[in-house]
Amino acid sequence: MVEKNGKPESIPRQLVFRALKATLKGIFFYFLYFILWTMFLAPLALIVPNLQGIAETFLAVYILLMVIGEFTHGTIFQYFFDAAKALFIIGYLLLSLKGGIVSLTYQEIILTVDLRLFLMFATLLSLLGLSKSVLQAINYLTQKTEHATI
C-alpha cells in the first residue's frame, strides 16, 4: 500500500490510473499529429518522398517511449525512458536528415537544402533533455538513499 494524502492507495488502482493516463497522453499526441499532418504537412508529402512513412515511424516510437515512461512514473525506469526518448530523437534526426544535407529531385529539378543549423539546434535541445533526465535520475536515487538511511 502506498499512502497518498494520508490515505492508503492500492497498487492495482495506481496501475490502472497510470495506464489510463499513458493511453490518454498517447491518443492526444496522435490526434495532434493527425491535425498537424492534415493542415500543414500533407501538401509537402506530394513533393518529399516517404515523408508520411518517416513521420509515422518517428511518432510511433516516440509515443511508445512516452507511454512506457508515463506507465513507469515514480520509478527509476521513468528516467531511463526519458533518456531513451532524447537519444532516439537525436539518432532519428541524424539518420533521416542524412547529416543535415538533403537533396530532393522533382522532375528535372534538383533541390539541395542545408539543414545543418536546424539539426544542430535540435540535437542541442535533445541533449538538454538527456542531461535533464540524467540529473533527475541522480536526484531520484539520492532521495531514495536518504529515505533508506532515515
Encode the chain (150 residues) as per-residue pLDDT tens digits.
Answer: 455 565 556 778 888 888 898 889 989 999 999 998 888 888 878 777 788 888 889 999 999 999 999 888 889 999 999 999 999 999 999 988 888 888 878 788 888 888 899 999 999 999 999 999 999 999 999 999 988 887
8 A C-beta contact, residue 114 and residue 100: yes
φ/ψ bin of 6: left (φ > 0), alpha (ψ from -120 to 50), beta (otherwise): left
pTM of the model: 0.80
* Structural domain harbouring 45: 1-73
Same domain, yes or no: 63 and 101: no
Q: Given 73, 92, 110, which residue is the final one in a domain?
A: 73
Domain count, the chain: 2
Same domain, yes or no: 84 and 142: yes
SS3 assignment, position 106: strand
Q: Which three-class secondary structure string do you get for 3-41?
A: EECCEEECHHHHHHHHHHHHHHHHHHHHHHHHHHHHHHH
In this structure, the chain runs to a length of: 150
8 A C-beta contact, residue 41 and residue 60: no
What is residue 9's predicted lDDT score, i.e. its pLDDT? Answer: 65
